Amino acid sequence: MMTRLNRLLGNEEKAQISETQVDRSDIEKLAELARIEISESTVDEVAKSITDVLALVDQLQAADTDGIAPMAHPLDATQRLRVDRVSEDNRRDDFQKLAPAAEQGLYLVPKVIE
């Protein structure tokens, strides 16, 4: 994987990284965190493709980033703030037309247990 990227970029020296392996149990954990059902028959396939992607991103480990501040936004801008004035009308009917299940103005979901 890395060698392919390196070749594409003419970058032949090999990075010293141990490849991250993702197994079935990792995928099950991630699928639970992300609330996505992954069918039993495809778990191994998904694990393999995610291992491949992680091998690509593991290239980052070779970069020297000592003292570099993380950059969350491309521009060094700061946040504008909004005046505290009501600007939104009640549009419940427009929005609830889109709801898979609603009743008495409420969105319905299977019983919430705390």
Partner 1 sequence: MHNLTIAELIKGLRNKDFTSVELTRHYLDRIKRLDANYNSFVTVTEDIALAQAKAADERLAQGDAPALCGVPIAHKDIFCTDGVRTSCGSKMLDNFVPPYDATVVENYRKAGAVMLGKVNMDEFAMGSSNETSFYGPVKNPWDTNCVPGGSSGGSAAAVAAQLAPGATATDTGGSIRQPASLCGLTGLKPTYGRVSRWGMIAFASSLDQAGPMTRTAEDAAIMLNAMASFDDKDSTCVDEPLCDYTASLNDSLQGLRIGVPKEYFSEGLQPETAERVQAAIKEFEKMGAEIKEISLPHTSLAVPAYYVIAPAECSANLSRFDGVRYGHRCENPKDLNDLYKRSRGEAFGEEVKRRILVGAYALSAGYYDAYYRKAQQVRRLIKQDFVDAFNDVDVIMGPTATAPAFAFGSKGDDPVAMYLEDIYTIATNLAGLPGLSIPCGLVDSKPVGLQLISNFFDEAKLLNAAHQFQQVTDHHQQTAPALD
Partner 2 sequence: MEWETVIGLEVHVQLATDTKIFSGASTAFGSAPNTQACAIDLAMPGTLPVPNEKAFRYAIMFGLAIDADIGKRSVFERKNYFYPDLPKGYQTTQLDEPIVGPGHVEIQLSDGSTKSIRIHHAHLEEDAGKSLHEGDFGGMGHGMSGIDLNRAGTPLIEIVSEPDMRNAEEAVTFARKLHSIVSSLGICDGEMSQGSMRFDVNISVRPKGTETLGTRTETKNLNSFKFMEDCIALEVERQIDVLEEGGEIIQETRLYNGDTKVARSMRSKEEANDYRYFPCPDLLPVEIDDDYIEDIRKQLPELPDARQARFVEQYGLSEYDAGILAADAATAQYFETTTEACNDAKLAANWIMGDLSAKLNADEKTINDSPVAATALAGLIVRIKDNTISNKIAKQVFEHMWKGEGEADSIIDAKGLKQMSDTGELEKIVDDVIASKPKEVANYLGEEDPKKRKKMMGAFMGPIMAATKGQANPGMVNQILSKKLNEQG
Site residues, partner 2 (CB under 8 A): 33, 35, 72-73, 77-88, 90-92, 95-96, 101, 103-112, 114
Contact 99, 107 (CB under 8 A): yes
Of the candidate residues 72, 86, 89, 103, the single one contacting partner 1 (CB under 8 A): 72
Say how far apart CA 92 and CA 103 lie, in whole Å: 12
86 binds partner 1 (CB under 8 A): no
- In the structure encoding, which two tokens stand for residue 6, read together? 């390196």
Of 46, 52, 63, give the one whose Cα is nearest residue 21. 52
Closest CB to partner 2 among residues 8, 34: 34
CB of 16 to partner 2, least distance (A): 27
How far apart, in Å, are the Cα atoms of 102 and each of 96, 97, 110, 113?
A: 7, 9, 12, 19
Contact set with partner 1 (CB under 8 A): 1, 4-11, 22, 26-27, 30-31, 33-39, 46, 49-50, 52-61, 63, 65, 68-75, 77, 79-80, 82, 91, 94-95, 97-101, 107, 109-113
